[in-house]
């Protein structure tokens, strides 16, 4: 069943990415974002003295506050990616506010964000999402970052019948629990690293032995559980398949196991802190594997701070600025286009934060955008009407395609979005930069073996 699912998904990715490439060489999309200012509702003026008074035929839309709750990991293991996700969400809220709110026939909804620091801890997520719902009376929810925290928030949200968009969670299991109120914008974890196997099989047949070393958390375990049988089915000898505790800082024991096994490819990792440390220690110990692909850490712009240890590291990414989805590619694919262009998102983010957005930033913005899309399509912020609208979504935006499962067992699971794979490479001047190396339809450079 999994194999058939990948074939179907690869067909979708190839189609969408090929269409996105059409826009890569051309000018940025010029279509206005849906959050662009629109003509404000007419405001009745006082009638002149002595003139006949006539009641307005259409009442102006009422402006309503829309409180959106979430937790952020301001401290702890998830703080880097969480900060990026929150920046994306705040940028979306600022764009909507600047445009005068989310406009429907009967009301204009002005977003107001309410958040707490979860410290990257599951128990705090459970307590704080309960507080957001029971004490703060928020209208809608956005998830925290990381699959483990998302799962905790999703359970609380579902138990209280609250609509939540998950931005930083990819674990398949969370979205296979039969939830009715949770919607996922990330590509599921089971598809995070299988694309690297496809890439190696296509581009470097000399690779025969691979090792899987991953963090022992829900998300990374799901990634590895899908990767292991897939790699074996493609004919690879998996010489090591082990996991490490979250917050691990010493990877020398794994490196000592890897050295005599001599895998040509090492696949795994977990999140930013451990992935960055693992990459640094492999460089320090001169691990000779031709290819290393790690979860989460490499696509973060700050991964470059480890210098030459970053060179050659591959990372699966939910979004990269080099793939320029556009209104034109949406039209060609027969999909509805929604929201700002890639360039508009990039410009807005850099203006607001003086830094480059990561895929976590794009995910945060996309999560807010899905709430906006649901309200506009439903003509209301009523959760039941919004869920009915989300169930019908199949669209393309700067973030890529979004389509939710409506199957009862996997309701809300993301089934339209696809991954791309980036690699840190040096340009002619010796400067490290990100390149897209897979799928071929989206590549900006050929994949390079590590040196």
Confidence class of residue 8 from pLDDT cuts 50, 70 and 90? very low
> SS3 helix, strand, coil % of the chain, rounded to 5?
40, 20, 40
Neighbours of 382 (CB within 10 A): 12
Beta bridge partners of residue 265, listed in sequence order: 210, 291
Give every CB contact of residue 258 below 8 A, 6+ residues apart in sequence.
211, 213, 240, 266, 287, 289
Q: What percent of the chain has pLDDT over 90?
A: 80
Residues 381-396: tens digit of each pLDDT? 999 999 999 999 999 9
Q: Which of 322, 399, 318 is nearest to 23 (CA)?
A: 322
Q: How far apart are CA 141 and CA 393, in angstroms?
A: 19
User: What digits encode the pLDDT tens for the residues 391-429?
Assistant: 999 999 999 999 999 999 999 999 999 899 999 999 999
pLDDT tens digits for 72-123?
999 988 898 999 999 999 999 999 999 999 999 999 999 999 999 999 999 9
Q: What pTM was computed for the model? A: 0.81
Q: Where is 140: in which H helix or E strand?
A: strand 140-142
Average pLDDT value over all residues in the chain: 89
Contacts of 285-289 with CB under 8 Å at 24 or more apart are: 285/252, 285/255, 285/259, 287/255, 287/258, 287/259, 288/262, 288/450, 289/211, 289/258, 289/263, 289/264, 289/265, 289/450
pLDDT of residue 30: 32
Sorting pLDDT into bands at 50, 70 and 90, what band is 17?
low
Give pLDDT tens digits for 123-155.
999 999 999 999 999 999 999 999 999 999 999
Distances (CA, A) of 173 to 149, 221, 223, 262, 306: 13, 11, 11, 33, 33
Residues of the chain above pLDDT 70, percent = 87
């Amino acid at each position: 069943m999994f194999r058939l699912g990948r074939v179907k998904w690869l067909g979708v990715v190839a189609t969408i990415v090929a269409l996105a490439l059409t826009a890569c060489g051309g000018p940025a999309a010029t279509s206005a974002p849906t959050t662009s200012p629109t003509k404000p509702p007419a405001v009745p003026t006082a009638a002149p003295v002595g003139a006949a008074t006539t009641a307005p035929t259409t009442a102006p839309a009422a402006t309503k506050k829309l409180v959106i709750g979430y937790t952020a990991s301001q401290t702890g293991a998830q703080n880097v990616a969480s900060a990026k996700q929150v920046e994306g969400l705040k940028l979306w809220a600022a764009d909507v506010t600047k445009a005068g709110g989310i406009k429907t026939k009967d009301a204009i909804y002005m977003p107001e964000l309410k958040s707490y620091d979860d410290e990257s801890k599951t128990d705090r997520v459970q307590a704080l999402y309960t507080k957001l719902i029971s004490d703060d009376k928020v209208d809608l929810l956005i998830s925290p970052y990381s699959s483990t925290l998302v799962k905790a928030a999703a359970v609380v949200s579902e138990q209280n019948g609250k609509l939540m968009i998950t931005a930083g969670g990819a674990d398949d299991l969370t979205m296979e629990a039969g939830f009715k109120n949770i919607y996922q914008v990330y590509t599921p974890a089971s598809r995070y690293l299988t694309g690297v196997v496809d890439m190696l099989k296509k581009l470097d047949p000399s690779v025969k032995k691979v090792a899987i070393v991953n963090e022992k958390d829900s998300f990374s375990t799901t990634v590895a559980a899908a990767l292991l049988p897939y790699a074996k089915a493609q004919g690879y000898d998996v010489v090591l398949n082990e996991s490490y505790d979250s917050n691990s800082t010493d990877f020398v024991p794994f490196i000592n196991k890897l050295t005599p096994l001599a895998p040509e490819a090492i696949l795994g990792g977990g999140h930013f802190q451990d992935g960055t440390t693992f990459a640094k220690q492999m460089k320090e110990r001169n691990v000779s594997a031709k290819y290393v692909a790690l979860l989460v850490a490499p696509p973060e712009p700050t991964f470059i701070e480890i210098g030459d240890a970053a060179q050659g590291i591959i990372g699966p990414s939910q979004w990269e600025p080099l793939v320029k989805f556009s209104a034109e590619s949406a039209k060609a694919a027969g999909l509805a286009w929604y929201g700002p262009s890639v360039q508009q998102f990039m410009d807005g983010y850099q203006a607001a934060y003086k830094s480059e957005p990561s895929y976590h930033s794009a995910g945060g913005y996309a999560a807010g955008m899905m709430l906006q899309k649901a309200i506009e399509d439903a003509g209301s912020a009523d959760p039941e009407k919004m869920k009915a609208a989300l169930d019908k979504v199949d669209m393309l935006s700067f973030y890529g395609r979004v389509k939710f499962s409506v199957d009862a067992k996997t309701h809300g699971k993301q089934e339209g979005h696809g991954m791309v794979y980036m690699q840190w490479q040096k340009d002619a001047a010796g400067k490290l930069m990100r390149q897209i190396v897979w799928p071929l339809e989206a590549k900006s450079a050929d994949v390079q073996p590590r040196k």
